[in-house]
Amino acid sequence: MSAVVEELVSGGVRLAVPLLLASSGELLSERAGVLNLSVEGMMLTGAFAGATGALASGNAGVGVLAALAAGLLFAALQALLSVVLRADQIVTGITANVLALGATTYGSRVFFGDGAADSVPGFDPIPVPGLHSVPVLGPALFEQTALGYAAFAVAAVLALGFSRRTSWGLAVDAIGEDATTADRCGLPVRAVRFAAVLLTGAVSGLAGAQLALSEVHAFSDNITGGIGYLAVVAVIAGRWRAWPTLVACLFFGVAQSLQFAAPALGLHLSAPLLTTLPYVIALLAVSGLVGRSRAPSGLTVPFLRGA
């Protein structure tokens, strides 16, 4: 049984890493008042660009850079639509996701022929000497790939650098709660929102690279399969605060790994049914939190001076 628990925890943390990356960006973006539903599309684009870059150059590092660039570009489009042109954030987000799915599926036909790229150069786990042999936590935390460790660092920097105890974090909250007041106080509302979306794009691109280059070393159609949406849900479940969002990410990670551990636990469900499990759990978790959370007042409200 303990082997199952260990597998569940270490698998959960591994699966939580891309979630954590994307959520840490999404959290910032939502606190600034922009709902980025397009995290899913950003991740998918990042995964595709990462796989293509790594495969073309034979170097996983180049793949990571490609994923970053793709995520940023995708985010720039989203920011242009939702921040500058003040388009509806939900509509643009969903549309962007559909666009990303179509474009990457088409792209993989063009680049990988049959729609899947196997044996992409990727990252291998680097166990931290000593620490990785700690029971349960060791394999979970200290047997990550370089990208995984980088993800922890990025998430930590974002959470701490933009906490409400920093001037940046406070400015972000003011802009997300009440853009008009923030503007009157001289805070650069649009610039901050634009930057927050770009940042979400960058970390989501990284999250995509994590999926394609650390997890499986391969790209397949719709490799994200809704993880980007889970990242958005994690922010909601985390009630727009950093630590609870981290907990939500880990929880959803474990929920995902449950599908792999199910046979060992004696759960014999069909595979497609098992893949829906994390989403069912996410739904239950979020509905249990209804009424206890409060979104930033300015979430999804575009800012226009004098409007």
Partner 1 sequence: MNTAAPALEISGLTKSFGTTRALEEVDLVVESGTVHCVLGENGAGKSTLCHVVGGSVAPDAGGLRLYGSPYAPRRPADALAAGIAMVHQHFSLVPTLTVGENMRLLRLRDLPRRVARVREEYGLELDLDARVSELPVGVRQRTEIVKALLREPRLLVLDEPTGVLGPAGTDALLATCRRIAESGHAVVLVTHKLGEVARAGDAATVLRGGRVSGGGPLAELPPERLVPLMIGRPAGSLDAGLAGTIGLAADGDSPEAGASGSGKTRAGGPEPAGRALAVGTAEPGGRAEPGGKAAARVTQALRLRDVSVRRADGTSALDEVSLDVGYGEIVGIAGVEGNGQSELMALLGGSLAPVAGRVELDGRDLTRAAPRERSRAGLGVVPEDRLHEGCVPQLRVADNLFLGRLDRFRRHGVLLDRRAMDRAADSVLTGHGIRADGPGALMSSLSGGNQQKVVLARELALDPLICLAAAQPTRGLDIGAVGAVHSRIRDAAAAGTGVLVVSSELSELLVLCDRITVAYRGKLLGPVDPAEPDARERIGALMLGARASRPGPENTGHTPEALR
Q: Under the rule (CB under 8 A), what is the footprint of partner 1?
A: 161, 165-168, 170-171, 173-174, 177-178, 180-187, 296-297, 305-306
List all residues 6 or more positions away from 71 whose beta carbon is below 8 Å from its beta carbon: 42, 43, 45, 46, 49, 201, 202, 203, 204, 205, 206, 208
* Nearer to partner 1 among residue 133 and residue 297 (C-beta): 297
In the complex, minimum distance from the CB of residue 161 to partner 1, in angstroms, rounded to a whole number = 6
What contacts 17, CB < 8 A, 6 or more positions away? Answer: 144, 148, 151, 152, 207, 210, 214, 253
Which pair of structure tokens corresponds to residue 155?
């998430």
Q: Which is nearer to partner 1, 187 or 247 (CB)?
A: 187
In whole angstroms, the minimum distance from the beta carbon of 23 to partner 1 comes to 21
Nearer to partner 1, 6 or 177 (CB): 177
- Closest distance of CB 189 from partner 1, Å: 10
Element (H or E) spanning 219, and its range? Answer: strand 219-220
Q: Which is nearer to partner 1, 41 or 298 (CB)?
A: 298
Least distance in angstroms from the C-beta of 172 to partner 1: 11
CB 153 to partner 1: min, Å: 17
Instruction: List, in order, residues 6 or more apart from 11 with CB less than 8 Å away.
Output: 253, 254, 256, 257, 260, 261
Nearest CB to partner 1, comparing residues 266 and 306: 306
Cα–Cα dist 28/44, whole Å: 20
As a whole number of angstroms, the distance between CA 305 and CA 183 comes to 8
33: which residues sit within 8 A by CB, 6+ positions away?
175, 176, 177, 179, 193, 296, 298, 299, 300, 301, 303
Which CB atom, from 109 or from 305, has the smaller least distance to partner 1? 305
Q: How far is the CB of 187 from partner 1 (least distance, A)?
A: 7
> How far is 246 from 19, CA to CA, in rounded Å?
9
